[in-house]
Structure 1
Amino acid sequence: MFPFEEELENEFDEEEEEYYPVEYEIDFSTGKLTGRKVSGSKALAVWAYLALQIDRGEFYTYSEDYGCELKELIGYKYSQEFLQSEVKRMIKDCLTVNPYITDIENLEITQTKSSLHISFKILTDYGEEEMETDV
């Protein structure tokens, strides 16, 4: 066997490294970058925050699966039960596109005339994170 064949054989035998998410941290209250890097569940919370801020299908830069449709609910008067079920469905639909986000829990919604304040917990393969967003 030639030396280069052995190197190629060893290269294919190596297992792929496991993915560990890393993102630049965002201060969720201001929407601005902090300059620090975060990893694991905090990085997935950053991904989730950004996904919730993008309207699905509005920008060609993103895939058709990225973003959410929560802004469709603004401007109409819905019952609390309907809002609870629709917001949960829309958020799950938005966030579970990411294979490392498994579910959401503890969804709370406060409705005003022009916005929705939503708080919930995301469950990820790397832990749990509390999130809040205004739509």
Structure 2
Amino acid sequence: MFPFEEELEDELQEEEEYYPREYEIDFKTGKLTGRIVEGAKALAMWAFLALQVDRYTFYTYSWDYGSELKELIGHPFSDEYIKSEVTRMITECLTVNPYISGIENLEISKGDDLLHINFVLLTDYGEEEVNV
């Protein structure tokens, strides 16, 4: 009916599908490598950063971004409770991203004041291992 409606429909059809790109992080050192990665690897970088940020702490981030893992440090919780809470907290943190569907093979090891967490990130672009 209106001539601009056809142009608007054409623009919507030409919209490209999102393909994630991020700077690569070395999980062992926590530093940038200078390379850009794409797909599942980029989502793993996003997940690593999201897990490092404390939720509800910084005004820069929305309340949906970040994790609450630091609440577990310094308390004498049982290993079963920690595994249960870490699984819940990680899932809540990461499934905010619409391209992440979940995690598998969660492994947790406790140090004096550290939690070492390894898991496989399930994304729309494949699987990727994450070490936090």
Q: TM-score, normalised by structure 2?
A: 0.91
SS at match of 2:24: strand
1:26 CA displacement: 0.9
SS at match of 2:25: strand
Aligned counterpart in structure 2 of residue 13 of structure 1, from 10, 14, 33? 10
Q: Which runs of 5+ in 1 are unaligned?
A: none
One-letter amino acid of the counterpart of residue 13, structure 1? D
Partner of 1:93: 92
Partner of 2:124: 125
Which whole-Å deviations, capped at 9, do the CAs of 1:31-51 have from their partners, x for residues lacking one? 111111100000000000000
SS at match of 2:87: helix
Q: Structure 1 CA distance, aligned partners of 2:37 and 2:112?
A: 35
Q: Structure 1 CA distance, aligned partners of 2:86 and 2:8?
A: 47
One-letter amino acid of the counterpart of residue 27, structure 2? F
Q: Which runs of 5+ in 2 are unaligned?
A: none
Partner of 2:48: 49
1:11 CA displacement: 4.9
One-letter amino acid of the counterpart of residue 83, structure 1? I
Find runs of 4+ consecutive structure 1 residues off by over 4 angstroms. none
Q: Structure 1 CA distance, aligned partners of 2:58 and 2:124?
A: 29
One-letter amino acid of the counterpart of residue 90, structure 1? M
Which whole-Å deviations, capped at 9, do the CAs of 1:13-64 have from their partners, x for residues lacking one? 2412111000111111111111111000000000000000000011100001
Count residues with an aligned counterpart. Answer: 128
SS at match of 1:33: strand
Q: Structure 2 CA distance, aligned partners of 1:42 and 1:10?
A: 36
1:10 CA displacement: 3.9
Q: TM-score, normalised by structure 1?
A: 0.89
**Rg larger for:** 1
Q: Structure 1 CA distance, aligned partners of 2:86 and 2:43?
A: 20
Query: What fraction of aligned residue pairs are identical, expressed as a percent?
Result: 66
The answer to whether 1:114 aligns with 2:113 is yes
